[in-house]
A and B are shown apart, each in its own frame.
Chain A
Amino acid sequence: MGRIALHGVTKNFGDTEVIRPLDLEIEDGEFVVFVGPSGCGKSTLLRLIAGLEDVTAGRIEIDGTDATGVPPAKRGLAMVFQSYALYPHMSVRKNIAFPMRMAGIDKVEQNRRIDAAAAALNLTDYLDRRPGQLSGGQRQRVAIGRAIVREPAAFLFDEPLSNLDAALRVGMRMEISELHTRLKTTMVYVTHDQVEAMTMADKIVVLQDGVIEQVGSPLDLYREPRNLFVAGFIGSPKMNLMTGDEAVRRGATTFGIRPEHIIASPSEGLWQGTVGVSEHLGSDTFFHVHMKDHPAPITVRAGGEVSLHHGDTIYLTPDETRIHRFDVQGMRLT
Chain B
Amino acid sequence: MATKASRSAARVMIAPSVLLLLGWMLIPLALTLYFSVLRYNLLMPGANPFVGVENYTYFLTDPAFTDAIINTLLLVGGVLTITVLGGIALAILLDQPMWGQGIVRILVIAPFFVMPTVSALVWKNMFMNPVNGLFAYLAKAIGMQPFDFFAAAPLASIIGIVSWQWLPFATLILLTAMQSLDSEQLEAAEMDGAGPLARFRHIMLPHMARAITVVILIQTIFLLSIFAEILVTTNGGPGTASTNLTFLVYAESLLRFDVGTGSAGGVVAIILANIVAIFLMRMIGKNLDT
Nearest B-chain residue to A47, judged by Cβ? B1
Nearest A-chain residue to B3, judged by Cβ? A54
Let me know if B142 is at the binding interface, CB within 8 A. no
Let me know if B4 is at the binding interface, CB within 8 A. yes
- How far is A52 from B2 in the complex, measured between Cα atoms in Å? 6
Let me know if A51 is at the binding interface, CB within 8 A. yes
Let me know if B191 is at the binding interface, CB within 8 A. no
Let me know if B5 is at the binding interface, CB within 8 A. yes
Are B5 and A53 within 8 A (Cβ)? no
Let me know if A311 is at the binding interface, CB within 8 A. no
Nearest A-chain residue to B5, judged by Cβ? A71
- How far is A54 from B7 in the complex, measured between Cα atoms in Å? 11
CB distance from A7 to the nearest CB of B (A): 19
Residues of chain A within 8 A (CB-CB) of B3 are 51-54, 71
Interface residues of B in 1-33 (CB under 8 A from A): 1-5
Nearest B-chain residue to A51, judged by Cβ? B3
- How far is A71 from B9 in the complex, measured between Cα atoms in Å? 13
- How far is A71 from B3 in the complex, measured between Cα atoms in Å? 9
Residues of chain B within 8 A (CB-CB) of A71 are 3, 5
Nearest A-chain residue to B1, judged by Cβ? A53
CB distance from B142 to the nearest CB of A (A): 61
CB distance from A85 to the nearest CB of B (A): 15
- How far is A54 from B3 in the complex, measured between Cα atoms in Å? 5
- How far is A114 from B4 in the complex, measured between Cα atoms in Å? 34
Interface residues of A in 228-279 (CB under 8 A from B): none
Residues of chain B within 8 A (CB-CB) of A52 are 1-3
Interface residues of A in 39-53 (CB under 8 A from B): 51-53
CB distance from B191 to the nearest CB of A (A): 35
- How far is A51 from B6 in the complex, measured between Cα atoms in Å? 11
Interface residues of A in 69-97 (CB under 8 A from B): 71
- How far is A251 from B5 in the complex, measured between Cα atoms in Å? 55
- How far is A71 from B5 in the complex, measured between Cα atoms in Å? 8
- How far is A51 from B4 in the complex, measured between Cα atoms in Å? 11
Residues of chain B within 8 A (CB-CB) of A54 are 3-4
CB distance from A14 to the nearest CB of B (A): 12
- How far is A53 from B4 in the complex, measured between Cα atoms in Å? 8
Interface residues of A in 49-65 (CB under 8 A from B): 51-54
11 contacts between A and B (CB under 8 A): A51-B3, A52-B1, A52-B2, A52-B3, A53-B1, A53-B2, A53-B3, A54-B3, A54-B4, A71-B3, A71-B5
* Contacts A52-B2, A54-B4 supplied; 5 other A-B pairs, CB < 8 Å: A52-B1, A52-B3, A53-B1, A53-B2, A53-B3
Binding site for B on A (CB under 8 A): 51-54, 71
